Structure 1
Amino acid sequence: MAGFWGRRKREEEAAQQAQDDDLARRARTALVAADERIRSTSDELEFAAAELGETATGPLREGITAVRTHMAEAFHLHQLNHDEIPDTADELRTRNARIVQLCEWAEDVLDERTEALRERIATVRQAPQVIERVRTDVERLRARLPQTRDTVARLSGRYSDAALHRVAANPDEAEQLLDFALHSADVSARRREARRAEEANVALETATEAVRRAGTIIDGVEDFEIEALRAQSTLAEVVADSRQDIVAARPLMQSGSPHSAEVTEAVADLEAALAALPGPGTASDPFADLAALRDANAALDTVVDKARRRAERPLPSIEQVRHAVDAADHAIAVAHSVIAGHRGWIGADARTRLAEAQRLRPDVDPLLSSEETREEALTLARRVQQLANEALQAAQRDIDSGRPDGDDWGGSGWGGGPGWGGGRGRPRTGGGDILGPVVGGLLLGGLLGDLFD
């Protein structure tokens, strides 16, 4: 009899675990869908405001603001599910249920506000002028492509393949998007001439989004060069700072000093990181070099702090804290650039870590005003940098797992967030088709055959 009750209890526990796992999956999916819906609707809001004015689009803008406020809570709850503090099953279940509730509410609010503007937008949209602007933007961005390719080629002689991985394909991706934007604009014009206004608007919105994304990708090459030069400059400063830290730590390596073994090991690791830096003229990855050196430097700082804890020690210098703050800002900027430029491929983990880093970043600045909180500012800045780096790593894994193999238009499906032309629930790509996030509702009304005949 005892065996019967034991088996029944195990079956109940297994059933509950399956329900909890399903709820966690729903929470992650809802988080990504709601976040993408907010981004897509925000893009469309600016388009509508230019046509209808701020008064008409005011309710939608207010709705987006409210939704973003509550989605910040959802991202924070998802972050708590994955931090280092163990959680009970009830805590995880409660948080995931709340995430699903917040995301569903966000989608309902945006549905209501966008539906109210749909007919007015279709009535007042100045399609011929917008199509002409798309064509002008396409030609303007095409004129930048040769310089962008030259920049990538020049950077390939200065930086390693690992460093260039994020932007090496940008010129080809941008050219593909521009071709697609021009073709979509032509489809929009033909559908409008055929008095199929809704389909024409969908195609035109797709063309506009493709041009916007192409511009972002082209700008990303220049942004990469600027950030790489900044990383190299910062690296030189961190090298000098690391050498000073090693000199300052040597007295603590003496036998009998507190934590002397840990200090000795940390000094050796930092010296190894300095020795591993590439020499002049060698293709390098300044981001990886800077990250490795910062990690070793931070490890030495930690054990030195422990060694000096029993005695008075000077607070971290304001320069050291500002270096950490700059590193956090740099890490957020890089992660944001990658996620914004490849939104269709990015999952919940990368988005959550970036949102958490952005949430914590404003808390650093007030701590810089007082010596009593300077050490806390340093710790928090490093936490922000860690979260942003984790967001970038997670985003890069998502991109690498879905980047297309070279098919100009192909993919295993179509993606795209909801906009004015359609709602949620469109088929999504199973791979990383560069066109996936901008195709949107092109399946509506037979547009697929016209676009890719």
Structure 2
Amino acid sequence: MTINAEVPVAATRTGPAAPARPEAEGTTSAADLVLPLVAVGGAGVLAGYGYVRRTRRARTRTTPGVVSPQPPVTPLPVLERQARAALVQADDCVRSSRDELAFVEARFGTRAVEPFVLALHEAERELSAAFAIRLRYDEGVPEEKAARRHALAGIVGRCAEAGRRLDAAAPEFDQLRALDREMGEALEVAEGRFRELTGRTGTVEATLADLRTRYPASATAAVTGYVEQAKDRLVFATTHLNQSRQAADLGRTEQAVRDLRAAEGAIGQADILLAGVDELANSLAKAAELIPAALTGAEAERARAQAATGTADGVPRSLLGDTDAALAAVREEVTGDRPYDPLTALRSIVRAVSALGAGQDGVLGAAAWLVGRADVRATDGFVATHRGAVGAGARTLLAEAERLLATDPAAADEPALAARQLAEQDVRVHGNPYSGAAEHTTGAVLGGVLLGESPNGGPPPAFGGPNTRKREEPDPGEPPSNSVRTD
């Protein structure tokens, strides 16, 4: 319906007008009564219609000063997605800030980076609290819908605070690095680490080959492809180191900084991948050494549990049978002729005695800590080098495993292994959206070395929170990085 704002005019007929009749003085014609009534009635209709229109506008308008009687409520699934996204973003900010901080510490020393280490630790604490809330939420706590909304808001708030602390430290961090004035020294540090890792690659490759001859495939499955991925990151790094030095020589400072940060990120991830192989080799060797003593300790715990059977402190006889079966399987593996996985065997011992309520002192405590640490570190390395695809679920379980490693090592391996399984699933589902990009860009995006916001991989992240981690953007007037010659 529309309303014409113009004053209505009576329609006129064609033809001769009717002669006017003189009325007697003091009388009123019918027309004199009808026209005012029509006008009043029309005004009433218009007023009523205007009231309805105003009421409808008041219920739906979004202008300041007018509050809807029933504001829209964001659906719970939408809030859950927002909380998951906040966790992933905050975790990425913490990880990329930690990576760049390592290069700055290598250049300026521990004392110079103390304020930024403090800011990073504060952000880590906020993020840990957010992950703890998310873990309880996934377990169904709290149950009430309103309380669950508050929990999700708490997750987002904690993540925002973690990012704020990093954002606040970013300007001073840039002043310390002074990449716009002292690019040469930063390049020397990065190139030194690059050369060291390049030299280590051959040694680590030989270590992995040796592990495959001594242990079954399941023992080395956690680091499958790590050497190849490390080489891929190093090729990416050397390309961007060359481009950074050449861009700096040409006075293209922003482009030089961008390439340097990309190279540093790739170098850091190559280090994680190679270290993962070395750590697995050490864990397997220590587990093999610890198994005989752990079996002896487990037998003692089993005897204690059997002696307490039938008392208030006793355990069900079914658990004793499960423990006997687990320990017998480990003995058979250890004394057999076929290669076995020492970490898996030690994990079986730890789980068997944990079910009996055994303490975590002595050799069994050392066994629990060794297994838990190996699983947590292996999962953390995988998440760190595949963060571009890993979601909030895996990161939440990893955070819980890290917490348990410090308080209850025997319980840490279960969430760590579950986190690794979820992370690998995320990577498989993610696939390769950069198949047509430049060589080695796919691995850089998958690892979070590049943020993946454009077909060429996007910018590298910097130290800081969500408002500062992309502050080093190239000048739009400068040519893209692949236009700088590398020969």
Question: TM-score, with normalisation over the residues of structure 2?
Answer: 0.67
**Alpha-carbon distance, 1:46 to partner:** 4.7
How far apart, CA to CA, are the structure 2 residues paired with 1:381 and 1:100? 29
2:410 matches 1:382:
yes
What does 1:154-233 correspond to in 2, within 5 Å? 154-233=210-289
Residue 150 of structure 1 is matched in structure 2 by: 206
1:17-68, CA deviations, whole angstroms, 9 ceiling, x for partnerless residues? x811111111111111111102212333454566778898666554334322
Structure of greater Rg: 2
**Alpha-carbon distance, 1:246 to partner:** 5.2
How far apart, CA to CA, are the structure 2 residues paired with 1:320 and 1:415? 38
**Alpha-carbon distance, 1:393 to partner:** 3.7
Question: TM-score, with normalisation over the residues of structure 1?
Answer: 0.72
How far apart, CA to CA, are the structure 1 residues paired with 2:459 and 2:326? 44
1:279-299, CA deviations, whole angstroms, 9 ceiling, x for partnerless residues? 545233222233234333433
**Which of 388, 391, 397 pairs up with 1:347?**
391
1:403-427, CA deviations, whole angstroms, 9 ceiling, x for partnerless residues? 87998525399467699xxxxx752
How far apart, CA to CA, are the structure 2 residues paired with 1:277 and 1:133? 47
**Which of 386, 390, 394 pairs up with 2:422?**
394
Matched pairs, number: 399
183-192 or 115-124, larger mean C-alpha shift: 115-124
SS in 2 for 1:346: coil
Question: Given residue 348 of structure 1, which amino acid in structure 2 is its aligned partner?
Answer: A
Question: Which consecutive residues of structure 1, in runs of 5 or more, have no partner in the other structure?
Answer: 1-14, 306-314, 365-379, 420-424
Question: Given residue 388 of structure 1, which amino acid in structure 2 is its aligned partner?
Answer: A
**Which of 183, 186, 189 pairs up with 1:127?**
183
**Alpha-carbon distance, 1:214 to partner:** 1.5
How far apart, CA to CA, are the structure 1 residues paired with 2:221 and 2:372? 21
**Alpha-carbon distance, 1:361 to partner:** 4.4
Residue 4 of structure 1 is matched in structure 2 by: none
**Which of 424, 427, 452 pairs up with 2:453?**
427
SS in 1 for 2:223: coil
263-272 or 24-33, larger mean C-alpha shift: 263-272
Structure 2 contact 104–113 (Cα < 8 Å) conserved: yes
Residue 403 of structure 2 is matched in structure 1 by: 359
2:480 matches 1:447:
yes
| Inter-CA distance 226–45: structure 2 relative to 1 (3 Å threshold) | closer
SS in 2 for 1:277: helix
Question: Given residue 412 of structure 2, which amino acid in structure 1 is its aligned partner?
Answer: V
**Alpha-carbon distance, 1:187 to partner:** 0.9
Question: Given residue 382 of structure 1, which amino acid in structure 2 is its aligned partner?
Answer: A
Structure 2 contact 79–149 (Cα < 8 Å) conserved: yes
2:164 matches 1:108:
yes
| Inter-CA distance 404–260: structure 2 relative to 1 (3 Å threshold) | same
How far apart, CA to CA, are the structure 1 residues paired with 2:249 and 2:360? 68
2:440 matches 1:409:
yes
| Inter-CA distance 227–151: structure 2 relative to 1 (3 Å threshold) | same
Residue 42 of structure 1 is matched in structure 2 by: 98
| Inter-CA distance 148–253: structure 2 relative to 1 (3 Å threshold) | same
Structure 1 contact 158–282 (Cα < 8 Å) conserved: no
| Inter-CA distance 260–31: structure 2 relative to 1 (3 Å threshold) | closer
SS in 1 for 2:95: helix
**Which of 271, 295, 307 pairs up with 2:351?**
295
Question: Given residue 297 of structure 2, which amino acid in structure 1 is its aligned partner?
Answer: D
Q: Which has the higher relative contact order, 1 or 2, with Cα contacts under 8 A spaced 6 or more apart?
A: 2
How far apart, CA to CA, are the structure 1 residues paired with 2:433 and 2:218? 19
Question: Given residue 153 of structure 1, which amino acid in structure 2 is its aligned partner?
Answer: A
How far apart, CA to CA, are the structure 2 residues paired with 1:275 and 1:45? 46
SS in 1 for 2:333: coil
How far apart, CA to CA, are the structure 2 residues paired with 1:409 and 1:97? 38
How far apart, CA to CA, are the structure 1 residues paired with 2:180 and 2:388? 30
Cα RMSD (Å) of the superposition? 4.2
**Alpha-carbon distance, 1:322 to partner:** 4.8
| Inter-CA distance 90–154: structure 2 relative to 1 (3 Å threshold) | same
How far apart, CA to CA, are the structure 2 residues paired with 1:186 and 1:157? 38
**Alpha-carbon distance, 1:390 to partner:** 3.2
Select the structure that is richer in helix: 1
